[in-house]
Amino acid sequence: MTGWGIVPDVVTYSTVLTAYCGKGDLEGAQKLVDDVIASGRRPDATMYTVLIDGYCMRGKLQEAARIMDEMEAAGVQPNEVTYSVVIKACCKEGKSAEARDLMREMLGAGYVPNTPLCAKVVDVICQDGKGRGGK
The CA-CA-CA angle for residues 58, 85, 53, to 5°, reads: 40
Q: Cα separation of 77 and 120, whole Å? A: 23
15 Cβ contact partners less than 8 Å away, ≥ 6 residues apart: none
Which whole number is the average pLDDT over 98-113?
A: 96
What DSSP designation does 85 have? H
41 Cβ contact partners less than 8 Å away, ≥ 6 residues apart: 10, 13
Residue-wise pLDDT for 5-21, tens only, equals 777 888 889 999 999 99
Which whole number is the average pLDDT over 101-124?
A: 96
Model confidence band, residue 109 (pLDDT cutoffs 50, 70, 90):
very high
Q: Which of 131, 49, 63 is nearest to 97 (CA)?
A: 131
Q: What is the pTM of this model?
A: 0.87
To 10 degrees, what angle do helices 10-22 and 26-38 make? Answer: 160
Residue-wise pLDDT for 57-98, tens only, equals 999 999 999 999 999 999 999 999 999 999 999 999 999 999
Q: Which domains does the chain have, with CATH numbers?
A: 2-127 (1.25.40.10)
Q: Which amino acid is at 17?
A: L
